Amino acid sequence: MSKGSSIGAWEEIGEPEDDFYEIGMNWLIFGKLSVLAYEENERNKDKVNQGLLAHMSPEHKHQIMTSAASTIKDIKELHKTIKKKNEITQSQMNTALSKVRHSMADNGSTIGHDRNQKENIALQTITDNS
């Protein structure tokens, strides 16, 4: 085979399976190293925390816990807000989907319905609920 032919060029590049194996092995190695780094980081955090607690006075521990309480409260409030927003978004999506299905049923179609019309109904529903 000549180097100018497409098969000759393919041979120069190599087999695609070799690339997939290399990518897969790199992915596995990266994943394993990430796990090892995470575990080492957790061990080191535990060592630092234990060291700090061992040398800290009870008054200082109380002061830290008091200041942390407000941060923990703020985080809990943020979680509630995110959960509420997700529930609202899910409700809007369900309403939009219901309207699209209802519109499709009214037109006697379940497949091949105009996609733009479905999107418009869904967007209008979300806009109405905002």
Q: Is residue 119 part of a domain?
A: yes
Give dist(CA 111, CA 117) in Å, integer: 13
The number of residues making up the chain comes to 130
Q: Assess if residue 80 is contained within a domain.
A: yes
How many domains is the chain built from? 2
Task: Check if the beta carbon of residue 70 is closer than 8 Å to that of residue 64.
Answer: no
In a domain, 126, yes or no: yes
19 occurs within a structural domain: yes
Q: Each residue of 80-123: pLDDT tens digit?
A: 999 888 888 888 888 887 877 777 776 665 444 555 666 666 66
pLDDT one-digit tens code per residue, 13-22? 556 677 888 8
109: DSSP letter: -
Are the CB atoms for 37 and 45 separated by under 8 Å? no
Q: Which domain holds residue 124?
A: 74-130
Q: Are 90 and 72 in contact (CB under 8 A)?
A: no
In a domain, 28, yes or no: yes
Per-residue model confidence (pLDDT) at position 115: 59
pLDDT given at position 45: 92
- Res 99: pLDDT: 79
- 50 and 15 both lie in a single domain: yes
Question: Do residues 78 and 51 share a domain?
Answer: no
Q: Let me know whether 46 and 81 are in one domain.
A: no
Q: Are residues 46 and 83 in the same domain?
A: no
